[in-house]
Structure 1
């Protein structure tokens, strides 16, 4: 499927949010996926990952997750300075901003002729958590979370009762949770805490732990595992096909 890519500046309660849209070029209606990046925003690996999903018949929206804290178009490098800046932005952004960003993306897509009314979410690292956060929106029916950071802690957010795991009752769609067993950012006890929370809340989800490090989906750098990335993308596409195809 041939796709096209454009950028759009959306109004949100916390400022203008640059959003990249990757979609089939045939002009037909397709489901829409809210696609969340790592702390580095839309890098080359994130753009390629989003375009891959779009090629299977989805409108893929990639917002700049820290738009309030950076000039429009900011992309952080995969180096120490980029990591430090991204982690600082992660701590500085208010949780209300993430929720209003999700609502703004969905509201905008609903007004456009290429959206068929069905929504999912997908993300990596902090973006895995943000995809999980997007699942709190009632429109989101399928969510793929790859090595979602900070779900097992109360760092983001630190407001009482506002952590994503505290609001599981609001998730109505199906979740796909994918982890790396050798990921130091989400150790085994942390993964178990998330699993037990989802079971206790009687959520509909599937759970996969691969023998891989953090960021094994990123097709740049020494941690990339092409075989695991292929498996992960196929699992996400299977989920979206089941839940978002009329």
Structure 2
């Protein structure tokens, strides 16, 4: 499908959040996917990923995940300075503020004529965690989480007992969890911890571990695996087509 895009600023309890909306040019009402970025915010690879998903008949919303901590439109570089700033932001913003961002998006996009009122979440790296976190909200019907960091380690600040791992039982929608075996950010013991917890809490989930590195979907840099990326875009599309039925 041919797509269009525009920016939409939303009011949240922690300030104005810029969202970029990718959606079909065709008339109609489409399911909505919140696409959470890595720590660098909406880089060119994130924009291309959002466009790919939108072209399959979805409204894809990319929020600036650290809007409180940066001027609107900030994109960090894939370099040491960008990593340092992004990681500092990650360890500054509490999960509760991410929760209120998700609610702001749900409330706004549920009212838009081009959305059918059904929602999913997707993300990479930090965004994989935020997609998982969004799934705690019962309005999120399916989530596709790629190499989600910090779930196993509970290293993103939050109120005591309000970490994503502890609250897993609140997830009602279908989950797909994707991991690279060569990813040092979520080692085997961390993946095993999450997998067992999903089993113990009887969540509806599918689990993939592949021979890939962290950020293997990112189409810049030496970690990119085009064949794996193509495979998992297809799996993401299938998940959302299955769960987000068009009205």
TM-score (norm 2): 0.98
Q: How many residues align?
A: 246
Taking a change above 3 Å as real, the CA distance of residues 234 and 158 of structure 1, as seen in their structure-2 partners, is same
Q: Alignment partner of 2:222: what SS?
A: coil
**For the Cα contact (< 8 Å) 2:91–2:156, is it kept in 1?**
yes
The equivalent residue for 1:56 is: 56
The equivalent residue for 2:157 is: 157
Deviation per CA, 1:194-219: give whole Å up to 9, x if none.
00010000000000001010000000
The equivalent residue for 1:22 is: 22
Structure 1, unmatched stretches of 5+, are: none
**For the Cα contact (< 8 Å) 2:179–2:208, is it kept in 1?**
yes
Q: Alignment partner of 2:107: what SS?
A: helix
1:216 maps to 2:210: no
Q: CA deviation at 1:96?
A: 1.4
Q: Alignment partner of 2:160: what SS?
A: coil
The equivalent residue for 1:195 is: 195
1:82 maps to 2:86: no
The equivalent residue for 1:229 is: 229
The equivalent residue for 2:12 is: 12
Deviation per CA, 1:35-73: give whole Å up to 9, x if none.
000000000000000000000000000000000000000
Structure 2, unmatched stretches of 5+, are: none
In the alignment, the residues of structure 1 paired with residue 106 and residue 90 of structure 2 have an alpha-carbon distance, to the nearest angstrom, of 22
Matches within 5 A, 1:180-191: 180-191=180-191
Q: Alignment partner of 1:165: what SS?
A: coil
- Structure 1 runs (4+) deviating above 2 angstroms are none
Q: CA deviation at 1:179?
A: 0.3
In the alignment, the residues of structure 2 paired with residue 152 and residue 86 of structure 1 have an alpha-carbon distance, to the nearest angstrom, of 20
In the alignment, the residues of structure 1 paired with residue 68 and residue 210 of structure 2 have an alpha-carbon distance, to the nearest angstrom, of 35
Deviation per CA, 1:4-55: give whole Å up to 9, x if none.
0100110000000000000001131000000000000000000000000000
In the alignment, the residues of structure 2 paired with residue 242 and residue 164 of structure 1 have an alpha-carbon distance, to the nearest angstrom, of 25
What is the RMSD of the two structures over their aligned residues, measured on CA atoms?
0.8
In the alignment, the residues of structure 1 paired with residue 159 and residue 18 of structure 2 have an alpha-carbon distance, to the nearest angstrom, of 27
